[in-house]
Amino acid sequence: MSNINSFYNWSNGLLEEDQKMPILFIGHGSPMNAIEDNEFSKRWQQMGKEIPKPKAVVVVSAHWLTKGTAVTAMLNPKTIHDFGGFPQALFDVQYPAPGDPSLANEIQNLVTNPAITLDHEWGLDHGTWSVVKHMYPNADIPVLQLSIDYHKPAKYHYELAKQLLLLRKKGILIIGSGNMVHNLRMVAWNKLNEPEYGYDWALEMNTIFKQKISTGNHMDLVAYEKLHKAANLAIPTPDHYYPLLYILALQTANDDVTFFNDKAVGGSLTMTSVKIG
């Protein structure tokens, strides 16, 4: 195949074949980050300007846990306020980004093991809109969610995600939204406003995660329970960790790895985020 025919052209809205959209794991933290103008949300805004404008965004959010895997397939996904105890201003937020049923069908066709179902009920939960509204405030880019089958182990999610690689070549931005270190039961609520306050074990695990990501040791991260004795404190449940595995699975040999928002919050949470590509 000639070079002329072997690439996607930006004039058609697609990336060149030897180029790929970057992929992001974003520590989303508190839902309040959706409406606060803080260092984390400002960095999300900046990221939206730094990377190529995507044709669509597909998010694996820690807050859509299912039996089996599904992808949102409606034209107009609703804004889900899946939290309680926050100010009314947060519940008033609407993020009216369109969906993309044709892309949902493409994802269904790409992922052959397991079979993916098309969902017309869910929408966009705060793991998605709290971040994407800062990146793309005009809500003019289609946004889809891919659910997490919470009945399956880490390796299942890593292997499933590999089947989505073609989307990177088609100008689709894939985001994993969760937190690497996420232990709500141990949050030091009286330290939330103390900059970069982290328990020793949380900071140590954050360092281990970054080292493994930087060196491409994905299998160690898949078998996260064996990483360190503090892993069970950093990941008491894997819901906020699994989205990271979806992003790591899409890393290719020539991708650069950079970290941002690399800070601890409240002792037992980290906002550490990763850009690959």
Name every residue whose Cβ is closer than 8 Å to that of residue 172 and which is 6 or more positions away in sequence: 21, 54, 55, 56, 57, 58, 103
The kind and range of the H/E element at 59 are strand 56-66
CATH class, domain 21-276, is: alpha beta
Residues with Cβ within 8 Å of residue 129, at least 6 apart in sequence: 34, 79, 80, 93, 95, 97, 143
- Strands 273-276 and 257-260 come out as antiparallel
CA distance 33 to 64: 19
Asked if 240 contacts 262 with a C-beta cutoff of 8 angstroms, the reply is no
**In terms of pTM, does the model score above 0.75?**
yes
Domain locations along the chain: 21-276
Write the CA distances from 85 to 123, 174, 193, 197, 265, integer angstroms. 21, 30, 19, 24, 19
Helix (H, G, I), strand (E, B) or coil at 41: helix
pLDDT in tens, the chain (277 residues): 323 233 333 334 444 445 799 999 999 999 999 999 999 999 999 999 999 999 999 999 999 999 999 999 999 999 999 999 999 999 999 999 999 999 999 999 999 989 999 999 999 999 999 999 999 999 999 999 999 999 999 999 999 999 999 999 999 999 999 999 999 999 999 998 898 999 999 999 999 999 999 999 999 999 999 999 999 999 999 999 999 999 999 999 999 999 999 999 999 999 999 999 9
